[in-house]
């Protein structure tokens, strides 16, 4: 892979290419969509937040794994 999609930093991953930015934006939009989808079926605030949090953790595990695989360590 010639161009890394992400750069590793001390606190996580920063998009380094257009593909990285698209994946980051798509992940954020999907998490927002998940919130509204879960909220439309839930009966209470705690029910919504618990289900949403679990889904966001799962999505972010896959996002972090993909970012790790397609990243390069930052020089700073």
pLDDT tens per residue across span 9-35: 888 899 999 999 999 999 999 999 999
- Residue 65 counted as domain residue: yes
- Residue 54 counted as domain residue: yes
DSSP E strand boundaries for 1-76 = 6-9, 12-15, 71-73
Residue 5 near residue 22, CB atoms below 8 Å: no
Strand pairing report for 6-9 and 71-73: parallel
- Residue 24 counted as domain residue: no
Number of domains in the chain: 1
**pTM metric for this prediction:** 0.83
- Residue 59 counted as domain residue: yes
- Residue 14 counted as domain residue: no
- 22 token code pair: 């698209």
| Spatial CA neighbour of 52 closest among 30, 19, 24, 75 | 30
- Domain containing 66: what range? 32-71
- Residue 66 counted as domain residue: yes
- Residue 11 counted as domain residue: no
DSSP state for residue 76 in the 8-state scheme: -
- Residue 27 counted as domain residue: no
């Amino acid at each position: 892979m010639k161009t890394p999609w992400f750069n590793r930093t001390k606190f996580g991953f920063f998009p380094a290419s257009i593909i990285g930015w698209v994946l980051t934006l798509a992940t954020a939009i999907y998490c927002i969509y998940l919130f509204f989808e879960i909220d439309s079926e839930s009966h209470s605030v705690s029910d919504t937040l618990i289900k949403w949090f679990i889904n966001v953790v799962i999505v972010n595990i896959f996002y972090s794994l993909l970012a790790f695989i397609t990243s390069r360590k930052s020089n700073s």
